[in-house]
Every structure is written in structure tokens, then in C-alpha cells.
């Protein structure tokens, strides 16, 4: 479990954690006795919550798009020319376009 959670734990800590977690999980066993037949898992059931319309909204950025790139032209990010589209020398000559 620690490996799944990407936690490096010393052996002695593992032993104490096993005891603590087992103790906590014992209290969860009560849920196995509950009749959940009446619990609707229908995703459309709102259970009193109001839901917004399921329509796409524009993605609002917390910072202006221009702040993410050093330079832009005509609404597009300017990036270094790919090496496959010319020699490295010519790419350097032509700048970051």
C-alpha cells in the first residue's frame, strides 16, 4: 500500500501503521450491515443539490494566455523552429518563429 501511495516507510513505522489502520477500518465495518437498497446511485439523482446545465463553458484561465509564452503573433505562441524543418544554423538565424 505504501508503494502504491509512493511513501517510503521504515519497517518499524509500517508495523505501527498496520495496527492503527486496522483499528480504524474496524469502525468502518458497520457500513457492511447497512441496507443500501434504497440508495440511488443513479447519476441523474441530485439529492437536493441544484445542478448546472451540462453544457460546455469557455475555459477561463487565471492568467492571461500571453503570460505563458515569451512571445506571440496573431494569437499564437511562437516556438523554436523544429530541427527537421531546416538546419540548426538557419533556425538560429531566423529566430524563434
Nearest to another protein of 39, 94 (CB atom): 39
Least distance in angstroms from the C-beta of 80 to another protein: 24
Contact flag: residue 79 with another protein (CB under 8 A): no
Nearest to another protein of 9, 78 (CB atom): 9
Identify whether the C-beta of residue 82 lies closer than 8 Å to the C-beta of residue 94. Answer: no
Contact flag: residue 84 with another protein (CB under 8 A): no
Q: Which of 11, 12, 20, 44 binds another protein (CB under 8 A)?
A: 20
Separation CA 50–CA 78 (nearest Å): 43
β-strand partners of 73 = 76
Contact flag: residue 85 with another protein (CB under 8 A): no
Interface map 29-48 toward another protein (x if CB under 8 A): -xxx-x-x-xxxx---x-xx
Polymer length in residues for the chain: 97
- How many angstroms separate the Cα of 93 from the Cα of each of 20, 86, 88, 90, 96? 64, 11, 9, 5, 9
Amino acid at each position: 500500500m505504501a508503494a502504491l501511495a509512493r511513501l517510503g516507510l521504515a519497517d518499524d513505522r509500517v508495523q505501527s501503521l498496520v495496527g492503527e489502520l486496522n483499528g480504524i477500518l474496524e469502525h468502518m465495518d458497520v457500513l457492511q450491515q447497512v441496507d443500501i437498497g434504497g440508495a440511488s446511485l443513479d447519476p441523474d439523482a441530485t439529492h437536493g443539490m441544484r445542478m448546472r446545465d451540462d453544457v460546455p463553458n469557455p475555459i477561463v484561465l487565471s492568467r492571461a494566455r500571453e503570460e505563458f509564452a515569451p512571445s506571440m503573433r496573431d494569437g499564437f505562441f511562437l516556438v523554436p523552429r523544429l530541427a527537421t524543418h531546416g538546419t540548426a544554423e538557419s533556425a538560429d538565424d531566423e529566430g524563434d518563429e
